[in-house]
Structure 1
Amino acid sequence: MGDLGQLAGPILLFAVFIIFFIVLPQRKKIKQEKEFDASLKVGAKVVTKSGLHGKVVTMNNDGTCIIESGAGKLKFERSAISIEMTKSLNKTVVAK
């Protein structure tokens, strides 16, 4: 029973570490992605995860959207749109 008591503290500390530094931030990121996806509208300037800059032309019900760029219109999954790069793009556009 003594050995188990000695291990209980470090195991509990490790579990708290996992929850606060891995699980909770991941849940927050997933929530932000869902909110971003829901707020995405036609006419929004976005950047895809592959770096393509464009404007949303059409939002489809099947989880895709059509983005117009200098190369023409391309069909992308909504999940391919980067939250971080789109936010930084919108900050630089507002700042100008």
Structure 2
Amino acid sequence: MAVEFLDQLKAIIRERKQSASEGSYTAKLFARGTNKIAQKVGEEAVELVIEAMSNDDQLFKNEAADLLFHYLILLEDRNIDLDEVIAILEDRHRERQ
């Protein structure tokens, strides 16, 4: 189920990149360029680290979701599919066995 939703989310992000839907936060990020998208990924990573040190699991999960969402946008901006990144992790895992 999670994989299906990720595929659906990736498709929505790709569509927003191509159509630049008015009022879309994602389309606005693409319009602002790679540097702004990368900056957002960095901001969300910092926020996740901060929440990791708190005892509020819900805030931590929210920040983790924000980071994943912005990471997917950055991958799409660079024309790299998440599956390509996962393949690298799989290769690394096989090498260590």
Q: Same fold per TM (> 0.5)?
A: no
More helix by share: 2
Higher relative contact order (CA 8 A, sep 6+): 2
TM-score, scaled to structure 2: 0.29
The structure where strand makes up a greater share of residues is 1
Larger radius of gyration between Structure 1 and Structure 2: 1
